[in-house]
Structure 1
Amino acid sequence: MPIDPRTNVPAIHTLSATRLARDIRTGDRSPVDVVDAVLDRIAARNDRTNAFVTVTDESAREAAREAERAVERGDDLGPLHGVPVAIKDLDDVAGVRTTFGSKLFADHVAEADDEFVRRLRDAGAIVVGKTNTPEFGLGCTTDNRVVGPTGTPFDPDRIAGGSSGGAGAALGDRLVPIAQGSDTGGSIRTPASCCHVFGLKPSFGRVPRVDRPNAFADHTPFSHTGPMARTVADAALMLQVMAGPDPGDPFSLPADGTDYLAATERPVDDLRVAYSPDLGTYPVEPTVRGIVDDAVGALDDAGATVERADPDFGYDRSAILEAYYTMAKVLWESLFDGLERDHGLDPRGADRDRLRPVTVETILEASDVSTREYERAQVVRTGVYDGVVDLLREYDLLVTPTLGVAPFEHGEHPETVDGEPVDRLRGWLLTQPFNFTGHPVGAVPAGLTDDGLPVGMQVVGRRHADDVVLAAGAAVERERPWHDAYPA
């Protein structure tokens, strides 16, 4: 861990959110010093990865001064009091620009906080900026016409993943201790893999999404908001704050009293783990498979019982991907209807040239989905759901690689994986099945390639068993710590 030569103690930017919150609470560390250190590091290093779209220097420093006054007054302090947090640029922070990664919204300023942002702020967290995302979050890599591409801190010429790529890069380059992501097809897990950080796609409904005018838009495929961090405990603490029901979300889960932070201290020696190196149907590069083969051994070392087993989806990866994007196109088409209805934009006409070509190709030039095609996709989705549920009747967890490849250079999407042709934009992910099912999935750093590039693995839990996923991720972290691997 880097040491500040002036004080001979760990530099602030290396510290976990749980450590910072504790030190601020006890008066051992000033929230002003913490926020100043984070903002200074963002200013010095953001050009390296392009993680942040907007940095809220002035409001963050004022919030830090108020946080310090609260400590001095002896006020009751929230669990994240004074801790800096980054918010993905698809979500709203009152008075701050939300671009959605699109030139159509390059100057759009949010009027109110999204619900999870309000909860983070109520817990004392201080928003220091908005992180990069592809246009409207539509992409497995992070690039747009507002600020350009985001790279992994391990090699900025290579992808940080998407669509929460800015969050992943900000964490991996130690610009911020915690960040929020969202995940409709792997958008938390892909950047976590590419940037060597932990991310949690919580159970669907665990963190409420109060969307209007369509409160039901995130149901098919399932969209999730969740925490990303360098430590599992930090993600658990963040989830503790973000989780809980909201009457504005028809799918939000009731509170069940789970202590997510305490779950990270649990032993795992009573867990049975199914390890599937390819989900039975996905190609994975041998280097990636070898690293995940080794990393899953950490659960065995921690006392869990690990066995080789594949889920039976009843369909191959091509059918699963086709079904997923049949549903996703319906979601995206409704998004564009909203641009016309709610914002007076014309993405199909006058405003079309301001969109990225890949957005136009994915949505505007895609064939309309018929009701019959949609219902056929639901049948495939049911097969995937049944395959996961059946396997998790016998096992507590399913572990699999997150991606079939290590991070690749910007624009060089793979056309083959382990010699098999794949959809170059999305065929190298093993993430979409779990947006069909809504199960909680942790994205855990697995190791580095010989070239120093990150590889990650997914830990899938039973429905609503987010605490078990966190316990397993923390066990891997204890057995195979990854914190010294971050770029200096």
Structure 2
Amino acid sequence: MDTYRSAVAVADAVKAGDLSPVALVDAMLERIEARGTNAYITVIAEEAREAAREAERAAEAGEDLGPLHGVPLALKDLYAHKAGVRTTFGAKPFADHVPEESALITERLEAAGAVPLGKTNTPEFGHKPRTDNELVGPTGTPFAPDRIAGGSSGGSAAALADGLATIATGSDVGGSLRVPASCCHVVSVKPSFGLIPSARRPDAFSSHTPTGVVGPMARSVEDLAVMLDVLVGPDDGDPFSVPAPDADYRGATERPTAEVSVAYSPDLDLFTVEEAVTDAVGDAVDALADAGATVEEVAVEGPAKGDLNHAFSVQATAKFATLAREIDEEHGVDLAAPDCEVSDSLKATVAVGRGHEAVEHNVQNVVRTGMYDAVNDAIGDHDALVCPTLAVPPFPLSEPDPTEIAGEPANGTLTDWSLPWVFNVTGHPVVSVPAGLTDEGLPVGLQVVGRRYDEESLLAVAAAFERANPWADTYPGA
């Protein structure tokens, strides 16, 4: 089915005249309407058709618009602004908010030939790991629509898994690229900080760890590599942006499996993990080893989980409290006001963040340093550290976060059932890839964690997993 073609295949076929981008966009727009996945908040049908017509005219004239020529793109309705198209942040008070300028990530993808279809669902301001809000409601994983798609980039992940886009954007403060990738069986990369500039305003300095990054999402590792090639590079608007590395991301996906070496931790020595997840990740790691890769199980000897949890909570909630103040000053909307039409969970997050003092915020960096060193030690001489993305498969939309995992009590919070936030604490780059499906057919993901600015090695390992354990034919509509 054309709606499940890879971005590389779409662009090549469009340039060769073998695929009409107009027909592909029409097929996806029809599918968006027919499927009812609730992946999108806003669909820009006419704008998409016009961009597709331009892509077709260019191909007929022998013009190459770039590596994403005619490729349908889903934009997360948070940081990926598009000029003239409403950006709601998943929040009712911003249902009619229309930015005048596009975000840098949007500009770079469009300049490479991508065709935006619309803006995807997100919880308000990306504040929680499930995609649900007061504006348009929840998004479920296409593998089981009554279960979470993850968050906060759940709309983008669900759109990819359901054939409603070819590539997508996401963002990540505590796992928002990787949680939905796991729940929807797609791939994503949380890049090294500064690699993909954000040029945020009014606070350009908010892009330092662990306050988040933007990043690409796709169904194949090669597509992820192509997107990363398009997105990296400095911008004067981001004081943390770094020069583009001398890297060949797409070429890295062709590295032979026999040259790949990974350290493996089934739980980071921190988490209780459900057996179904342990089995799926273990099988994927075994398949990688059987294909010729070097695999070594390792210990991760870092700070106590309670200390890590506190460090993340202090800095992440302070981030949302700061954001709430910016929103109030710029738009006159108090997200914590009793009558504000946002979720109680967002109000509670802002309230907690407002209670932290600057010194308490800053001293958490000592704990972060301890975990940063522990992860580096675990990686050692390997290309990457591999571990589960989530401790549980996608759980029902109607249920709260798990209060029991593998028979052990849990606090019903993100930090118990999701492993990605640890690497927001440390700042390591991470690729999440599908590991397999449970006996119930629910997706399980694994994280590939590497050294900062060594995304080439991460993509090489991720591609080796894809060859050893392919997932392209697992999608419900493929």
TM, length-normalised to structure 2:
0.97
- Of 377-386 and 144-153, more deviation after overlay is shown by 377-386
Match for residue 395 of structure 1? Answer: 382
Residue 222 of structure 1 and its aligned partner are, at CA, apart by 4.4
What is the SS of the residue equivalent to 1:361? Answer: helix
**Equivalent position to 1:147, from 136, 141, 156:** 136
Residue 367 of structure 1 and its aligned partner are, at CA, apart by 5.7
**Equivalent position to 1:303, from 289, 292, 300:** 292
Match for residue 40 of structure 2? Answer: 52
Work out whether 1:12 is the aligned partner of 2:2: yes
Structure 2 gaps, min length 5: none
- Percent identity reads 53
**Equivalent position to 2:174, from 155, 160, 185:** 185
Task: Work out whether residues 193 and 209 of structure 2, in 8 Å CA contact, stay in contact via their aligned partners in 1.
Answer: no
Task: Work out whether residues 88 and 181 of structure 1, in 8 Å CA contact, stay in contact via their aligned partners in 2.
Answer: yes
Match for residue 8 of structure 1? Answer: none
The residue type paired with residue 368 of structure 1 is G
The residue type paired with residue 386 of structure 1 is D
CA displacement 1:209-263 (0-9 Å, x = unmatched): 1111111112131412111111111111111111111111111121123121111
Could you say if the C-alpha distance between residues 135 and 246 of structure 1 is closer, same or farther in structure 2, counting changes exceeding 3 Å?
same
Tell me, in whole angstroms, the C-alpha distance in 1 between the residues paired with 2:161 and 2:64: 32
Tell me, in whole angstroms, the C-alpha distance in 1 between the residues paired with 2:334 and 2:191: 35
Match for residue 466 of structure 2? Answer: 477
Tell me, in whole angstroms, the C-alpha distance in 2 between the residues paired with 1:474 and 1:365: 40
Residue 365 of structure 1 and its aligned partner are, at CA, apart by 5.2
Could you say if the C-alpha distance between residues 302 and 205 of structure 1 is closer, same or farther in structure 2, counting changes exceeding 3 Å?
farther
The residue type paired with residue 419 of structure 1 is G
Match for residue 7 of structure 1? Answer: none
**Equivalent position to 1:86, from 70, 74, 77:** 74
What is the SS of the residue equivalent to 1:59? Answer: helix
Match for residue 90 of structure 2? Answer: 101
Work out whether 1:407 is the aligned partner of 2:394: yes
Residue 281 of structure 1 and its aligned partner are, at CA, apart by 1.2
Work out whether 1:379 is the aligned partner of 2:369: no
Could you say if the C-alpha distance between residues 79 and 366 of structure 1 is closer, same or farther in structure 2, counting changes exceeding 3 Å?
closer
**Equivalent position to 1:35, from 25, 30, 36:** 25
**Equivalent position to 1:229, from 218, 221, 225:** 218
Tell me, in whole angstroms, the C-alpha distance in 2 between the residues paired with 1:451 and 1:324: 33
Task: Work out whether residues 99 and 108 of structure 1, in 8 Å CA contact, stay in contact via their aligned partners in 2.
Answer: yes
Tell me, in whole angstroms, the C-alpha distance in 2 between the residues paired with 1:262 and 1:243: 16
**Equivalent position to 1:319, from 304, 307, 313:** 307
Work out whether 1:339 is the aligned partner of 2:339: no
Task: Work out whether residues 314 and 353 of structure 2, in 8 Å CA contact, stay in contact via their aligned partners in 1.
Answer: no
List structure 1 runs of 4+ shifted beyond 4 angstroms: none
Count of aligned residue pairs for this structure pair: 474
TM, length-normalised to structure 1:
0.95
CA displacement 1:326-385 (0-9 Å, x = unmatched): 001111111011011111223343x74312111111212556112332233111111111
What is the SS of the residue equivalent to 2:292? Answer: coil
Task: Work out whether residues 299 and 472 of structure 1, in 8 Å CA contact, stay in contact via their aligned partners in 2.
Answer: no
Match for residue 219 of structure 1? Answer: 208
The residue type paired with residue 179 of structure 1 is A
Tell me, in whole angstroms, the C-alpha distance in 1 between the residues paired with 2:272 and 2:344: 28
Tell me, in whole angstroms, the C-alpha distance in 2 between the residues paired with 1:212 and 1:267: 42
Tell me, in whole angstroms, the C-alpha distance in 2 between the residues paired with 1:244 and 1:180: 17
**Equivalent position to 2:260, from 267, 271, 279:** 271
Residue 165 of structure 1 and its aligned partner are, at CA, apart by 0.3
Structure 1 gaps, min length 5: 1-10
What is the SS of the residue equivalent to 1:458? Answer: strand
**Equivalent position to 1:174, from 142, 163, 171:** 163
Match for residue 3 of structure 1? Answer: none
Cα RMSD between the aligned structures? 1.4
